[in-house]
Chain A
Amino acid sequence: MMNSRLRSLGLLLTRILWQGLGRLDVLATGLVLWGVSTQGLGAAEPSTGLIRTITAGGVTDVSVTPNVWLFVPAGRPATPFVPAGPFTARWEGAISADLRGDFTFQALAQGALKVSINGALALEAKDTGPALAIGQAVRLNKGTNSLKVEFTSPAVGESMVRLFWTNRETPLSTLPLAQLSHEPTEALRRSALLHQGRDLFLEFRCARCHQTPGSVPELSMDAPEFNGIGSRRQADWMAAWIRDPQTHRAGTPMPAMLSGDGAAAEAAAMAAYLGSLKGEAPAAAASGNVETGKALFEKLHCGACHPSPGTTDLKPHQVSQKEVNAKFTPGALAAFLQKPEQHFRWIRMPNFKLTATEASDLAAYLGSVADPAPVVDTAKAGPDRVEQGRKLVASTGCLNCHALDGVKNEFTAKPLVQLAPASWNSGCLAEAPSAGSKAPRYTLNADQRAALRAFGASDRASLDRSTTADFLERQSVHLNCRECHGQFEGFPAWDHLVGKLKPEWATRFIRGEIAVKPRSWAEYRMPAFPAYAQGLGEGLSTLAGLPPTTAPDPAPSDAAMLAEAGRKLAGANGGFGCISCHSIGEFGATQVFEAPGINLATSFDRLQPDYFRRWLRAPTTIDPASKMPVYFDEEGRSPLPEILGGDGPKTVQAVWEYLRLKDAMTKPE
Chain B
Amino acid sequence: MIPIMMTPLRTLASAAVATGLLVLSTSAAQPKGSAFRMLQDDFPFQSACIGADFPTNNVALKGYAIRVGNDATVLFDSDTLRMAAGWTGGFINTRGVVFDGNHGQHPQMVGEQKFGVGNGPGVGIPEKGFTDTRPEPFGPIDKSVGHWKGLYVDGMDTILSYTVRGTMVYEKPGSLAGPAGVAFTRTFRLGPPKQGATSIRRHTVRDAFTIQLAEVPDAQVQVGLQAGLPALVFTSGDWSMVVAGTALPKGVEIKVEGSRAFLLVGAGVKATEPFKVTIWSGPKASTSGAIDLAKAAPSLPDFMKGGPRHWPETVNLKGRLATSSTPDGAYVTDSITAPEDNPWKRRVRFGGMDFFADGKRAALCTHDGDIWIVSGIDDSLGNLVWSRFASGLYEPLGLVIVKDQIYTSGRDGITRFVDLNKDGEADYYENFNNDVMSTRGFHEFVFDLQRDDAGNFYFAKANPVNSGGSGFGNEKASRGNGVVCSHAGCLFRVSPDGKTFEILARGFRAPNGIGVRGDGQVTTGDNEGTWVPTSPLNWVDGKAFHGVINSKTPAGVPENYVPPILWLSHSDFCNSNGGQVWVTSSKWGPYRNELLYESYGKSSLFLVMRQDLGDGRQQAAAVRFPLKFTSSVMRARFHPHDGQLYVAGLSEWQSNAARITGFDRVRYTGKPVYGVNAVKVVSDGVELRFSQPLDKASAEDVQNWSGKRWNYIRSENYGSPEVWVSDAKKKGRESLDITGAKLGKDGRSVILKIEGLRPVNQQSLKWDIKAADGTPISQEIQQTIHQIPGRPLSMN
Contacts and interface: CB of A to CB of B under 8 A. Distances in A.
Given A142-B702, A620-B571, A627-B575, A581 B654 contact: yes
B101 interface: yes
Q: Is the interface of A mostly helix, strand, loop or mixed?
A: loop
Interface string A480-519: 0000000001000000000000000000000000000000
Contacts of B529: 594
Contacts of B36: 573
Nearest to B729: A40
B100 interface: yes
A489 B469 CA distance: 15
Given A98-B766, A142-B702, A591 B35 contact: no
Interface of B: 33-36, 97, 100-103, 340, 467-469, 529, 571-572, 575, 601, 628, 651-656, 658-660, 701-706, 718, 721, 726-727, 735, 766-768, 778
Contacts of B704: 99-100, 142
A99 B727 contact: no
Interface stretch (A336-344, A379-387, A628-636): A628-636
B601 A629 contact: yes
A128 B33 CA distance: 46
Given A40-B726, A629-B655, A591 B101 contact: yes
B499 to A, nearest CB: 37
A590 B100 contact: yes
15 contacts: A98-B766, A100-B703, A521-B468, A572-B660, A592-B103, A593-B103, A594-B468, A594-B653, A594-B654, A594-B718, A595-B469, A624-B571, A626-B571, A629-B601, A629-B654
Given A573-B35, A639-B628, A640-B658, A593 B766 contact: no
A580 B101 contact: yes
B654 to A, nearest CB: 6
A142 B703 contact: yes
Contacts of A574: 340, 659-660
A593 B778 CA distance: 35
A211 interface: no
Nearest to B659: A574
A99 B768 contact: yes
A168 B469 CA distance: 35
A242 B760 CA distance: 56
Nearest to A589: B101
B726 A629 contact: no
A667 interface: yes
Given A40-B726, A627-B654, A629-B654, A591 B768 contact: no
A101 interface: yes
Contact of B656 (A142, A168, A581, A630): A630
Interface in A525-543: none
A141 B703 contact: yes
Contacts of B701: 100
A142 B706 contact: yes
Contacts of B469: 593-595
B204 to A, nearest CB: 54
Contacts of B726: 40
A529 to B, nearest CB: 26
A669 interface: yes
A620 B575 CA distance: 12
A109 B100 CA distance: 49
A625 interface: yes
Contacts of A667: 33
Interface in A608-638: 620, 624-627, 629-631, 633
Nearest to A620: B571
Contact of B660 (A40, A521, A573, A592): A573
Contacts of A593: 103, 467-469, 653-654
A98 B768 CA distance: 11
A595 B768 contact: no
A626 B703 CA distance: 30
Nearest to B721: A625
A577 interface: yes
A410 B140 CA distance: 90
Nearest to A572: B660
Contacts of B103: 591-593
A565 to B, nearest CB: 15
Interface string A635-669: 00001100000000000000000000000000101
Interface in A580-598: 580-581, 590-595
Contacts of B575: 627
Interface string A88-130: 0000000000111100000000000000000000000000000
Contacts of B100: 590
B768 A577 contact: no
Interface string A395-431: 0000000000000000000000000000000000000
Given A625-B721, A667-B33, A99 B660 contact: no
A98 B706 contact: yes
Contacts of B767: 99
Nearest to A573: B35
Nearest to A577: B651
B723 to A, nearest CB: 12
A573 B35 CA distance: 8
A625 B726 CA distance: 21
B707 to A, nearest CB: 9
Given A620-B571, A624-B572, A667-B33, A629 B652 contact: no
A245 to B, nearest CB: 33
Nearest to B656: A629
B710 to A, nearest CB: 11
Q: Which 10 pairs show the lowest CB-CB distances between chains A and B?
A: A639-B658, A629-B656, A594-B469, A590-B101, A591-B101, A100-B703, A99-B706, A98-B706, A142-B703, A624-B571
B20 to A, nearest CB: 25
A139 to B, nearest CB: 10
Nearest to B527: A594
A475 B268 CA distance: 91
Contact of A595 (B34, B467, B654, B721): B654
A581 B601 CA distance: 14
Contacts of A626: 571
Given A572-B651, A593-B103, A629-B656, 6 more contacts: A99-B706, A100-B704, A100-B768, A141-B703, A593-B468, A669-B33
Contacts of B706: 98-99, 142
A593 B767 CA distance: 36
Nearest to B572: A620
Contacts of A581: 654
A100 B701 CA distance: 10
A633 B658 CA distance: 11
A168 B626 CA distance: 14
A633 B35 CA distance: 28
Contacts of A99: 703-706, 766-768
Nearest to B32: A667
A489 B654 CA distance: 19
A627 B726 CA distance: 26
A625 B705 CA distance: 24
A534 to B, nearest CB: 32
A631 B651 CA distance: 12
A640 B34 CA distance: 21
B327 to A, nearest CB: 11
Contacts of A594: 468-469, 529, 653-654, 718
B766 A591 contact: no
Contacts of B651: 572, 577
Nearest to A637: B628
Contacts of B655: 629
A521 B575 CA distance: 21
Nearest to A639: B658
A573 B38 CA distance: 13
B656 A591 contact: no
Contacts of A630: 656
Contacts of B660: 572-574, 577
A577 B659 CA distance: 9
A40 to B, nearest CB: 6
A625 B534 CA distance: 12
